[in-house]
Amino acid sequence: MKNLVLISKMLPDDYIGFTFFVGCMAMMAASAFFFLSLNQFDKKWRTSVLVSGLITFIAAVHYFYMKEYWAVVGESPTFFRYVDWILTVPLMCVEFYLILKVAGAKTDLLWKMIALSVIMLVTGYLGETVFSESAALWGGISGIAYFIIVYEIWLGSASKLATAAGGNVLKSHKILCWFVLVGWAIYPLGYMLGTDGWYTSILGKGSVDIAYNIADAINKIGFGLVIYNLAVQSQKE
Ligand SMILES: *C/C=C(C)/C=C/C=C(C)/C=C/C1=C(C)CCCC1(C)C
């Protein structure tokens, strides 16, 4: 039987390991926060806050594995990373759908967003692993799916529903739109730092993991807090 590693050394210059560790703790704390707040919400908002907690909780578990993987194997935990994303990004689409339900959002919108995010992530995974010699091509296909998501929420049917809903929902939808446009854009940047393509001569090489870890903290915890705040504000009224 192989050795079971329970704890591994953290070197003081292991900045990547540090962001994995802090990421793990931050996701755990955020999950505790969302779950423990559930009782203060009535049924209408509880599901949304629960989903915020599930997103950070799923990430916390994956970060627990990823920090160990990094410490023991010393490589990017690409597989765990994408399993995390394929579970959590569709849940973020669910959040959009849940808050827009008041304006009559249909499950078509939900499935369309989920399908686009799956295409975005599967093609990105292929570009980072199986077909890494054509990473730019796969990243480009992934980028198209990403732009359609951005279009859908900023200008497409999701934005029309948000306008129809008005008030707090519209305000929160707008903030979430910014998360997707700016916060999510860190991921393709990380991808370009970690793979070889036409962009390598411009950007050089860097750590995918630092980019992805920072992006995850901003997007998963920040996104969840926007939903939490929407629930608090709406319930006050
Ligand atoms: C919690 C995790 C989140 C919000 C992950 C989001 C991931 C992306 C928006 C990834 C996008 C990518 C591209 C747009 C092109 C290159 C490949 C990806 C998968 C890194």
CATH number for position 40: 1.20.1070.10
* CB within 8 Å of 100: residues ≥ 6 apart: 109, 158, 161, 162, 165, 169, 173
* 224 HSE (CA, 13 A, CB side): 31
Please give the pLDDT value at position 230. 96
Count Cβ neighbours within 10 Å for each residue of 83-117 and write b for 16 or more, e otherwise. bbbeebbbbbbbbbbbbbbbbebeeebbebbbebb
Angle between the N-to-C axes of helices 223-236 and 167-178, in degrees from 0 to 180, rounded to the nearest 10? 170
Pocket test for ligand 1, best of 142, 150, 199, 213 (most atoms within 8 A of CB): 142
- 8-state DSSP, 4: P
In three-state form (DSSP H/G/I as H, E/B as E, the rest C), the secondary structure along 124-173 is: HHHHHCCCHHHHHHHHHHHHHHHHHHHHHHHCCHHHHHHHHHCHHHHHHH
Give pLDDT < 70 ranges for the chain: 1-7
The ligand 1 site (C-beta within 6 Å) comprises 85, 88-89, 120-121, 124, 139, 142-143, 146, 184, 187-188, 191, 216, 219-220
Residue 1 confidence (pLDDT): 57
Q: Quote the pLDDT of residue 100.
A: 95
Q: Which atom of ligand 1 is nearest to the CA of 128?
A: 17
The protein residue with its alpha carbon nearest to ligand 1, atom 5, reads 85
Task: Write out the two tokens for 76.
Answer: 């990017």
Distance 124 CA to ligand 1 centre (A): 7
pLDDT of residue 12: 80
Closest by Cα among 37, 157, 169 to 100: 169
Supply the pLDDT for residue 3. Answer: 65
pLDDT recorded at residue 4: 65
* Structural domain range at position 86: 2-236
Neighbours of 159 (CB within 10 A): 18
Do 63 and 20 form a contact (C-beta atoms < 8 A)? yes
CA of 86 to the centre of ligand 1 (A): 10
For residues 119 and 112, give the distance between their C-alpha atoms in angstroms, rounded to a whole number. Answer: 11
Sequence-ordered list of residues with C-beta below 8 angstroms from that of 87, at least 6 positions apart, any chain = 58
Number of structural domains found in the chain: 1
